[in-house]
Amino acid sequence: MLSVEEARARLKTRPLPANPWVFASDEAIIIKADYTDTIERMLRWVPKTRWSPRQRCWIVPLSGLELVRSVLPELSRLAEAMQETPVAPESAPAAGNVDGDDAEARTWFRDSARLLYGSDWQRETARALGRDEAALACWLVGEGVMEDSPAILLNEMLALMRRRSVDISAAADVLAQRIAS
């Protein structure tokens, strides 16, 4: 385990990627997720890690920084799955230029995938696109580089969304016919 000073130094040189569910403060790493045995098993190797029922989050001492980094994609996936409702995409990509802002591309991709698949969006999206789930998860939290550009990934997501909307519309038509008969 790292000392608190070593962890702070590492965070200054290599901060955790922007993430709505996992972030570092001066004293600890906060994971905004409900209590689950899965998260407890992931964090059990960091002494003094605790679940705060009052704040509804996990509090991990800075000494556990590297362990948290190693499981960050899965922690993010679990924390997000615990949210009550998926978030609609905030805005559409600017015409033709999505490569300039990788963080924005990741947000559009993530929000679109949530709408398609709900709480298990990461796994199902990777399967539907024929992508490696771990590589996709790392890219989504800013920890890795995908084999394709954000523009290609967003175009794949757009095509997937259109296919799914056609399938849903066709299923709705069949249901309407059955109800009418």
H/E stretch holding 50 reads strand 50-52
Is the pLDDT at 4 greater than 80, yes or no? yes
Alpha-carbon gap, residue 8 to 5, rounded angstroms: 5
pTM of the model: 0.53
Alpha-carbon gap, residue 26 to 7, rounded angstroms: 10
The pLDDT, as a whole number, for residue 89 is 47
Predicted confidence (pLDDT) per residue in 117-141, tens digit: 876 778 888 899 998 887 888 788 7
* Domain ranges across the chain: 4-81, 102-180
Range of weakest confidence among 31-35, 51-55, 123-127, 137-141: 137-141
DSSP 100-133: T-HHHHHHHHHHHHHHHHGGGHHHHHHHHHT--H
Residue with tokens 């070593």: 6
Pull the structure tokens for residue 31: 């994971």
The pLDDT, as a whole number, for residue 93 is 43
Cβ atoms 141, 76 nearer than 8 A: yes
Mean per-residue pLDDT over the chain, rounded: 83
68 versus 134: which is more confidently predicted?
68
Cβ atoms 131, 113 nearer than 8 A: no
The pLDDT, as a whole number, for residue 94 is 45
The pLDDT, as a whole number, for residue 60 is 95
Reduce the DSSP state of residue 140 to 3 states and report it: helix
DSSP-assigned letter for residue 152? H
